[in-house]
Amino acid sequence: MYIILFVKISDVGENTLIEIIQDLISSSESRPDFRRKENLILGIGDDAAVWKTESGLEISTTDTMVQGVHFSFAYSSWYDIGWRAMASNLSDIAAMGGAPLYALINIGLPIDTDVDNVKDLYKGILAVGDKYSVRIVGGDLVKSHIIFITIVIIGASSQNLMLRSEMKSGDVIAVTGSLGSSAAGLRVLSGALTNNSEMHKSIIDTHLRPTPRIIEGQILAENGIRAAMDISDGLVIDLNRLCNSSGVGAIIHTDKIPTDRRLKSDFSGEEILGWALSGGEDYELLFSGPESIVLSVIPMMPAGATIIGEVSGFNVGRVSVLDPENKPIKLNDKGWDHFKL
């Protein structure tokens, strides 16, 4: 008698599923008859793929937003959805220090969708893309029962790129901007608070219309930072990915994590810290480097930057979160995972 066990993706989670797919691709590429592309520098495992061209390095990334998973019309307009879809993709290019150039837009729509809504979606996409001179060069439209949008960004760089695999023991860890405001904005949008203050409008915009740190990423790469990624799923889970890619551990200090001071008027310190650590969708840059380089580059950051911890040669793949008394904090939620229930 044979027992067949079916493993569901909810059992393994997003990171493990990516590893399984990566192993399959690597096995395929190891065949003797496989035609290797010598110009490929980086494939699966970072914020974007990278390959050489005659003029330098070319970068490509893609991301998908699905109705009911990544957005809801209960609080998002079509314009907002277009903005976030483009901004989240541009953030991956920013994380590598590249310059975005072209975009392909693939959209699935029900047949009864209002044409004006599609126009508003593209207006949101263009509003962000135009800021960074991104040209839309094609895409696809398909009929779908649920709305989704997939964007492919192609960028370039003539310099050394920032990678997830370049963290070194002894480096300091830093982030641009502030963390937690996007999750706070979602909390307001969910109806948890009814006060319609200017502060609430500001944090709602942080969630619905994030700013990709393109300029900051290029400054970091130009000034010697070699390890970075963007914070899309949460500080702790994304830092954990950096550590795993680099074969190191990390220590971060809660009293050094930058948050918007205005949040304190309506939210508890515990809530704010939780969002900063695990809320996700901040699209700030998480980076590391020698302390002297990081300190020299922080004043150049238009959005500001803050040192929040240090890289350790011990506890590989583990992120330790310490309170102001240097006592470890146990986290109930480490961040967003698409496939965990």
Dihedral (CA of 324, 327, 333, 339) sign: positive
User: Which pLDDT value is given to residue 190?
Assistant: 83
Measured CA to CA, the distance from residue 235 to residue 280 in angstroms comes to 7
- The mean pLDDT value for 248-268 works out to 93
Beta bridge partners of 65: 149
Question: How many Cβ atoms sit within 10 Å of the Cβ of residue 319?
Answer: 24
User: Which pLDDT value is given to residue 341?
Assistant: 43
Measured CA to CA, the distance from residue 17 to residue 27 in angstroms comes to 16
- Greater confidence (297 vs 18) lies with 297
DSSP assigned state of 151: E
Measured CA to CA, the distance from residue 282 to residue 150 in angstroms comes to 20
The pLDDT tens digits of the residues spanning 55-66 come to 788 999 999 999
User: Are the C-beta atoms of 256 and 309 separated by less than 8 Å?
Assistant: yes
- The mean pLDDT value for 133-152 works out to 95
- The mean pLDDT value for 229-245 works out to 95
- The mean pLDDT value for 22-45 works out to 71
Per-residue pLDDT for 336 more than 60?
Answer: no
User: Which pLDDT value is given to residue 144?
Assistant: 96
User: Which pLDDT value is given to residue 24?
Assistant: 80
Residue 3 confidence class, pLDDT cut points 50, 70, 90: low
Per-residue pLDDT for 197 more than 90?
Answer: no
- The mean pLDDT value for 32-52 works out to 73
- The mean pLDDT value for 210-234 works out to 96
Dihedral (CA of 311, 315, 316, 317) sign: negative
Measured CA to CA, the distance from residue 159 to residue 220 in angstroms comes to 11
Which ranges in the chain are annotated with CATH 3.30.1330.10? Answer: 47-157
Report the range of poorest mean pLDDT among 28-37, 57-66, 294-303: 28-37
Question: How many Cβ atoms sit within 10 Å of the Cβ of residue 220?
Answer: 31
Which ranges in the chain are annotated with CATH 3.90.650.10? Answer: 164-322
Percent of the chain with pLDDT over 70: 91
User: Which pLDDT value is given to residue 29?
Assistant: 67
User: Are the C-beta atoms of 248 and 169 separated by less than 8 Å?
Assistant: yes
Nearest Cα to Cα of residue 167 among 234, 238, 222: 238
- Greater confidence (340 vs 234) lies with 234
Per-residue pLDDT for 109 more than 60?
Answer: yes
**Residue 61: φ, ψ to 5°:** -145, 160
User: Which pLDDT value is given to residue 10?
Assistant: 80
What is the CATH architecture assignment of 164-322? Alpha-Beta Complex (3.90)
User: Which pLDDT value is given to residue 333?
Assistant: 59
Measured CA to CA, the distance from residue 137 to residue 135 in angstroms comes to 6
Q: Which helix (H) or strand (E) holds 141?
A: strand 135-143
User: Are the C-beta atoms of 284 and 141 separated by less than 8 Å?
Assistant: no
Average pLDDT across the chain, whole number: 89
User: Which pLDDT value is given to residue 30?
Assistant: 67
* Cα angle: 19, vertex 315, 227; to 5 degrees: 65
Nearest Cα to Cα of residue 99 among 137, 128, 59, 72: 59
Helix (H, G, I), strand (E, B) or coil at 68: coil
- Greater confidence (160 vs 128) lies with 128
Beta bridge partners of 62: 152
Tokens, residue 308:
């929040």
Per-residue pLDDT for 335 more than 60?
Answer: no
Contacts of 206 (CB under 8 A, 6+ apart): 181, 182, 184, 185
Per-residue pLDDT for 339 more than 50?
Answer: no
Its CATH class, for the domain covering 47-157, is alpha beta
User: Which pLDDT value is given to residue 22?
Assistant: 78
Measured CA to CA, the distance from residue 10 to residue 13 in angstroms comes to 5
Expressed in percent and rounded to 5, the helix, strand and coil fractions of the chain are 40, 25, 40
Helix (H, G, I), strand (E, B) or coil at 119: helix
pTM, 2 dp: 0.87
- The mean pLDDT value for 294-321 works out to 96
Residue 337 confidence class, pLDDT cut points 50, 70, 90: very low
Per-residue pLDDT for 148 more than 50?
Answer: yes
Tell me the DSSP string of 155-206: EEESSPPPBGGG--TT-EEEEES-SSHHHHHHHHHTTS-----HHHHHHHHH
